[in-house]
Amino acid sequence: MPSFVDFQELKAKVGFDQVIQVLGLTLKKHGHQYRGCCPVHAGNDRTLVVTPPKGFYCFAKREGGDQIALVAHVRQCPPKEAAAFLAERTGTVQVPRTRNGTVPGTVPAPQQPPGTAALRPLDYLLAEHEGVQALGISPETAKEFGAGYAGKGIMRGRLAIPIHDRAGTLLAYCGRALGDQQPELTFPNNFQPEGVIFNANRATSGELHLVREPLEVLTAHQAGLENVVCFLTEGITAQQWEMLAALQDELQCDRVYF
């Protein structure tokens, strides 16, 4: 196990788009830039500017830098701790651990069971399964979304549905109950569902439709309705509405249909 995180390797594997997602930043896309309020120093909607792949700059603090520097800036921590946090959250670079399995300087998060490694598609999901078909999802739709019945792992016994960020990067899987199991949706312990709009990676210009949960997104798509998205939480925060507004702005969509 290495005693350090290779900064260059980490930056080569994790782009700014993914860092923005991991940090849960609410930034609007303007051309090739992302702009918004700095979560630490506030300011206006142009205080924090991220220009992939060049870097970021905070006009309030008058500092900027690379992906690791952005994490350190937002989390108010040293670069070494920021790198460990980013590597752990993205699963891209092996991170040193203490004897109890935690990452030094970070809040410990439960480890995912084998077979559910972040950012890697699950190759054992069954699109052609009676439990999936009972939900009204055809094998073709399941395959198109990369979803399927999970016979093992933390999603075992559920419909596992991949979750992507706006850029299409695989972040995690959610497990949708096949019957009356509770909770209806399950997520990996280190995943923050409030930071994602499900299916936003498929959204294009035009009408935007907001439904209740991922299964309804798949069902609507199967019925021929495009630009269907949903939040992944029961309650919706102000930040999530801002995320939706930013998506509307990017798509030049005047209204959202519920």
Q: What is the pLDDT of residue 178?
A: 96
Residue 235 within a domain: yes
- Residue (of 236, 224, 227, 214) closest to 255 by Cα position: 227
Query: How many beta carbons lie within 10 A of that of residue 14, not counting itself?
Result: 24
Residue 119 within a domain: no
Residue 4 binned pLDDT confidence (cut-offs 50, 70, 90): low
Q: How far apart are CA 139 and CA 241, in angstroms?
A: 33
Do 136 and 228 fall within a single domain? yes
Do 197 and 137 fall within a single domain? yes
**Does residue 218 surpass a pLDDT of 90?**
yes
Residue 144 within a domain: yes
Structurally, the chain folds into a number of domains equal to: 2
Q: What is the pLDDT of residue 236?
A: 92
CATH number at residue 49: 3.90.580.10
Residue 103 within a domain: no
Residue 191 within a domain: yes
Average pLDDT over residues 126-139: 95
Provide the residue range defining the domain that includes 202. 130-257
Do 214 and 140 fall within a single domain? yes
Residue 26 binned pLDDT confidence (cut-offs 50, 70, 90): confident
Report the sign of the C-alpha dihedral through residues 14, 89, 106, 4, in that order. negative
Residue 46 binned pLDDT confidence (cut-offs 50, 70, 90): confident
Domain closes at, from 38, 58, 90: 90
Query: How many beta carbons lie within 10 A of that of residue 228, not counting itself?
Result: 22
Pick left, alpha or beta for residue 152 (phi over 0 → left; psi -120 to 50 → alpha; otherwise beta): beta
Do 154 and 246 fall within a single domain? yes
Do 135 and 239 fall within a single domain? yes
Do 135 and 252 fall within a single domain? yes
Give CA torsion, residues 171, 177, 181, 184, to 10 deg: 50
Contact 94, 2 (CB under 8 A): yes
CA–CA distance from 199 to each of 162, 171, 247 (Å)?
9, 12, 11
Contact 126, 149 (CB under 8 A): yes
Contact 116, 188 (CB under 8 A): yes
Do 145 and 84 fall within a single domain? no
Greatest CA separation for the chain: 57
Residue 118 within a domain: no
Average pLDDT over residues 167-178: 93
Domain closes at, from 41, 72, 90: 90
Domain closes at, from 31, 62, 90: 90
Q: What is the pLDDT of residue 70?
A: 93
**Does residue 189 surpass a pLDDT of 90?**
no
Do 155 and 248 fall within a single domain? yes
